[in-house]
Chain A
Amino acid sequence: MEFFKNLGELLKTRSDFFIELLWQHILLSLIAIVIITVVGITTGILISKSKKAASIVIGMTNVLYTIPSIAMFGFFVSITGIGNTTAIIALVIYGLLPVIRNTYVGLIEVDDQILEAAVGMGSTPWQLLSKIQFPLALPVIIAGIRNMVVMTIALAGIASFIGAGGLGVAIWRGITTNFGEMTVAGSLLVALLAFVADGLLGIIEKRLLRRTK
């Protein structure tokens, strides 16, 4: 009980500190998320044309995905040094898999007959993709993005380990100075952020998919 009282006190008295970290965390995650979304969806679209390319790319991202996050962060530190840049690179690598895979699967699972009709009517490859395939793949793609967003926000919590900003600073500070409430405060805010982000995406998802049947 004492713990939670202290936790509350901490959040109140150091609110500036936490708000600054929250802001950094949002920024860090957001940059990674935008890059992942653009690169991931584009890659997913490109590999949907070729089964061979698809298996290579998805195989690769699969392997990268299984590397423990701390190892990934640590590896990049030796290449791009400490700080936000490295953190973003590592976050992007992790975030790519769900987005690429979902984009790919979403696109190839569109009904053959629908594609045949669209092609038979004289759609250009771009029209086929933008008017038919992509809109129909959207539910799956968005699910992948939601997944990725939550994961990225959580993972960004580890980024402070290599000198990046964000709520991980509080978490790490708490761990290294034997300050439990600080650790929990940081973790709680990360979870809250992830929760809110997921909720927002849920609303956007509903809006976008309202017209897709």
Chain B
Amino acid sequence: MIEFSDVSQQYETEKPIIRHLSLTVSQGEFVVLIGPSGCGKTTLLKMINGLILPNSGEIRIKGKELKEWDPITLKRNIGYVIQQVGLFPHLNIEKNIAYALDIQKTSETKKKERARELINLVGLEEGYLGKYPNELSGGQKQRVGIARALAADPEIILMDEPLGAVDQINRAVLQDEIIRIYQTLNKTIVFVTHDIEEAIKLGTKIVVMNQGEIMEVGSRDTIVFHNKSHFADDFIGNKGFLSYLNIVKIKQVVCSFNESSNGNTKEMSLWVSEADPLIVGIRMCLENGVNLVGVRDTAGRVVGAFDLGCLSRLTF
């Protein structure tokens, strides 16, 4: 879907922002770009929809070279969500959401329909359609921002620290919303953040950058446990690991009782749900001084064991 080949970017006399960077994003991936300030993650993002142009190298979007795309058409095919949201204060929510359709001269009925569809998708009531941006809270504004980006049903969505200006509590809620929307719509998402927890939580593929180069690319398992890059290791650190434990569910690491060290169902008195995150299982073991606890599914049936020993033998 998106391909960067040996791309470099800099502004005339300044330091290079992107150096010889290569990256592939496949359809349906949720790619998170993360790194310290100035690492070039936002620049990389903006090169996808042509807001910033590379000095050298090749970029392909949906198989076509960036140069061959009409700049306006390219942008209309890619959803764009920014940190400050940038809702249009003089238009009501309905018109804000339908903007991408409006500039493509879509009919009134289609626009209204789509706006209604999307406002429901992002978890707001239809009554909000008639309101104006200044009547909404920060979190609500960003929901509208996301709806707006989805209006023309683009295959690719770019998000530049979209939750950076949202308060802590709402941020968690919105992260879940974004995951939900992603799973529902199956879009390709490229997401920039500086928050490690967020990266681990959201991304199917995480890209760690530093000074215009990619340090590490991989799934959350890779990034947390199998970093080849010293920098990425340091950067992700314990915080990343902790996030991992909070995100990954026990279901992923369930051992059968045969494999476990002490496998007797009848003696299990401690149980966790397979939908709980790993940290719940670990905590239960430590709190009770045991090596393993039983695991049930959401319906209550026994599915296996959560075993610390088993855990260490797994290669993520």
By a beta-carbon cutoff of 8 Å, the part of chain A in contact with chain B is 111, 113-124, 127, 131-132, 135-136, 211-213
Cβ contact of B90, chosen from A116, A117, A127, A135, cutoff 8 A: A135
Are the CB atoms of B85 and A117 closer together than 8 Å? yes
A114's closest neighbor in chain B, by CB? B86
**What number of residue pairs across chains A and B have CB atoms under 8 A from each other?**
68
By a beta-carbon cutoff of 8 Å, the part of chain B in contact with chain A is 49, 51, 72-77, 80, 82, 84-90, 99-100, 102-103, 132-134, 145, 148-149
Are the CB atoms of A121 and B90 closer together than 8 Å? no
Query: Which chain B residues lie closer than 8 Å to A119 at the CB level?
Result: 51, 75
CA gap between A113 and B89 in the complex, in Å: 12
Query: Which chain A residues lie closer than 8 Å to B100 at the CB level?
Result: 121-122
CA gap between A111 and B83 in the complex, in Å: 13
Cβ contact of A120, chosen from B80, B87, B89, cutoff 8 A: B80
Cβ contact of A111, chosen from B49, B80, B86, cutoff 8 A: B86
CA gap between A136 and B89 in the complex, in Å: 8
Q: How far is the CB of B18 from chain A (nearest CB, A)?
A: 19
B49's closest neighbor in chain A, by CB? A120
- Report if A211-B80 is in contact (Cβ < 8 Å); known contacts: A117-B85, A121-B75, A121-B100: no
- Report if A122-B76 is in contact (Cβ < 8 Å); known contacts: A136-B89, A213-B134: yes
CA gap between A132 and B76 in the complex, in Å: 17
Cβ contact of A212, chosen from B75, B90, B149, cutoff 8 A: B90
Are the CB atoms of A132 and B88 closer together than 8 Å? yes
Query: Which chain B residues lie closer than 8 Å to A118 at the CB level?
Result: 86, 88, 99
Are the CB atoms of A131 and B89 closer together than 8 Å? no
Are the CB atoms of A120 and B75 closer together than 8 Å? yes
Are the CB atoms of B80 and A213 closer together than 8 Å? no
Are the CB atoms of A213 and B133 closer together than 8 Å? yes
Are the CB atoms of A117 and B103 closer together than 8 Å? no
Are the CB atoms of B103 and A121 closer together than 8 Å? yes
Known contacts A114-B89, A116-B86, A117-B82; 9 further A-B pairs (Cβ under 8 A): A113-B82, A117-B87, A117-B148, A119-B75, A120-B49, A121-B103, A122-B74, A122-B100, A212-B90
CA gap between A120 and B102 in the complex, in Å: 14
Query: Which chain B residues lie closer than 8 Å to A212 at the CB level?
Result: 89-90
- Report if A211-B75 is in contact (Cβ < 8 Å); known contacts: A116-B82, A131-B103: no
Q: How far is the CB of B197 from chain A (nearest CB, A)?
A: 25
CA gap between A135 and B85 in the complex, in Å: 19
- Report if A211-B85 is in contact (Cβ < 8 Å); known contacts: A117-B80, A121-B75: no
CA gap between A124 and B100 in the complex, in Å: 11
Q: How far is the CB of A120 from chain B (nearest CB, A)?
A: 4
B89's closest neighbor in chain A, by CB? A213
Are the CB atoms of B86 and A122 closer together than 8 Å? no
A125's closest neighbor in chain B, by CB? B72
Are the CB atoms of B82 and A120 closer together than 8 Å? yes
Pairs A-B, 8 closest by C-beta atoms: A117-B86, A122-B76, A122-B75, A120-B80, A113-B86, A113-B84, A212-B90, A114-B86
Q: Can you report 13 A-B residue pairs in the complex whose CB atoms are below 8 A from each other?
A: A114-B88, A115-B86, A116-B86, A117-B80, A118-B99, A120-B51, A121-B100, A121-B103, A122-B75, A123-B103, A124-B72, A136-B88, A136-B89
CA gap between A114 and B145 in the complex, in Å: 11
Query: Which chain B residues lie closer than 8 Å to A114 at the CB level?
Result: 86-89
Q: How far is the CB of B86 from chain A (nearest CB, A)?
A: 3
Query: Which chain B residues lie closer than 8 Å to A213 at the CB level?
Result: 89-90, 132-134
CA gap between A123 and B85 in the complex, in Å: 16
Query: Which chain A residues lie closer than 8 Å to B88 at the CB level?
Result: 114, 117-118, 132, 136
CA gap between A97 and B127 in the complex, in Å: 44
CA gap between A113 and B85 in the complex, in Å: 7
Q: How far is the CB of A32 from chain B (nearest CB, A)?
A: 30
Interface centre among B75, B90, B103, B134 (most CB of A within 10 A): B90
CA gap between A97 and B262 in the complex, in Å: 88
Q: How far is the CB of B139 from chain A (nearest CB, A)?
A: 17
Query: Which chain A residues lie closer than 8 Å to B86 at the CB level?
Result: 111, 113-118
Query: Which chain B residues lie closer than 8 Å to A132 at the CB level?
Result: 88
Q: How far is the CB of A171 from chain B (nearest CB, A)?
A: 43
Q: How far is the CB of B238 from chain A (nearest CB, A)?
A: 35
Query: Which chain A residues lie closer than 8 Å to B85 at the CB level?
Result: 113, 117
Q: How far is the CB of A21 from chain B (nearest CB, A)?
A: 42
